[in-house]
Amino acid sequence: MRSENHATTATTPVGEAVHAAAGRIRQFIGASARPRVALILGSGLGDYAERLTDARSLAYDEIGFPASGVIGHKGRLVYGRAPGSSLEVLAMQGRVHAYEGHSLQTVVLPVRALVRAGCEIILLTNAAGAIAPGLLPGQLVLLRDHLNLLGDSPLRGHNDASLGARFPDMTSVYDRGLRALAERVASASKLLLPSGVYAGCLGPQYETPAEIRMLRSLGADLVGMSTVPEAIAARHMGAKVLGISCVTNLAAGISAQPLSHDEVTETAAHARADFIRLLDGILSEIAAEQRVAEGGTDHV
């Protein structure tokens, strides 16, 4: 299957596209596989998938996912076990964005397929610009809420009841229990992990200083061009969501330096060590909770 033939929801009903992509994922990972966690790895963060034990990968076009044309997004789905545990994980190395010309229904197709394939927890990561005072490039920030400023919703149009309710509640998009778990991991690892509100904007142009002042007045701490549609779609399907931003630059008007995508990917690479420690710890804690829930032990 070629990338141009991906199952866009413009020509295929959402439920059918999700079912088809989930079926290809299940075929790839095998009937006995039980992936519980999906990682969506943003700009410059995709290499984390290489840490999975017994990892194997599948190109997005073989699943029916749209391929990203953005540098730092490899376009592969990786299946393996979390480092040091038997927790099964599916990791997306990159995502597509609305600014690439995709509808939001197409943007969230991969996340929906991962949930339909069995993932109960969606861990969304992204590169973001800092708006709040005190946030610096290289810092990791836990998302506690978001602002959807994309001018659209992935739920617009006909609602497929097999995916979720027509009017889903978004009071706690980012799961409180998972946020508390991440904060415990950060504290134990001596990592600074402030929380913040993420503003999702359309892009692809970076924001103007006036727009950043507006976002700050609305309560935003961070700004980016992803994550929000995926979080909405995952919650629509009943999955738990955890969001982590890597601050890669100061937003326009806060720093005199012009913004560039090179800076985004370079800063994300510099934050790699902290990112690995945090994700390793989070996955380890999820694995431990799973062992307790199943009344068994983890076999590495």
The structure tokens 């503003």 sit at: 199
The structure tokens 């001018």 sit at: 151
Q: Which of 62, 100, 263, 266 is catalytic?
A: 100
Q: Which of 99, 159, 172, 183 is catalytic?
A: 99
- The question of whether 230 is a catalytic residue gets the answer no
- The question of whether 100 is a catalytic residue gets the answer yes
Residue type at position 29: I
Q: Which of 6, 19, 73, 102 is catalytic?
A: 73
Rounded to whole angstroms, the Cα distance separating 36 from 286 reads 9
Query: Exposure string (b/e) for 93-113, b if CB count within 10 Å is 16 or more?
Result: bbbbbbbbebbbbbbbbbbbb
Grouping H, G, I as helix, E, B as strand and the rest as coil, residue 299 is coil
Tokens of 230: 């995926």
- The question of whether 73 is a catalytic residue gets the answer yes
Q: Which of 38, 49, 67, 127 is catalytic?
A: 127
- The question of whether 148 is a catalytic residue gets the answer no
End-to-end Cα spacing for the chain:
35
- The question of whether 293 is a catalytic residue gets the answer no
- The question of whether 249 is a catalytic residue gets the answer yes
Q: Which of 7, 17, 21, 43 is catalytic?
A: 43
- The question of whether 57 is a catalytic residue gets the answer no
Q: What is 135-178 written as a DSSP string?
A: --TT-EEEEEEEEEESS--TT-SS--TTT--SS---TTSS-HHH
Q: Interhelix angle for 109-116 vs 228-236, to 10°?
A: 30
Q: Which of 249, 271, 285, 287 is catalytic?
A: 249
Q: Which of 225, 231, 233, 271 is catalytic?
A: 225
- The question of whether 162 is a catalytic residue gets the answer no
Rounded to whole angstroms, the Cα distance separating 66 from 95 reads 8
Residue type at position 132: A
Q: Which of 172, 261, 270, 288 is catalytic?
A: 261
- The question of whether 97 is a catalytic residue gets the answer yes
- The question of whether 225 is a catalytic residue gets the answer yes
Grouping H, G, I as helix, E, B as strand and the rest as coil, residue 52 is coil
Rounded to whole angstroms, the Cα distance separating 102 from 3 reads 13
Q: Which of 57, 85, 226, 245 is catalytic?
A: 226
Q: Which of 6, 19, 97, 102 is catalytic?
A: 97
Query: Exposure string (b/e) for 141-165, b if CB count within 10 Å is 16 or more?
Result: bbbbbbbbbbeeebbeeebbeebbe
Catalytic residues: 43, 73, 97, 99-100, 127, 225-226, 249, 261
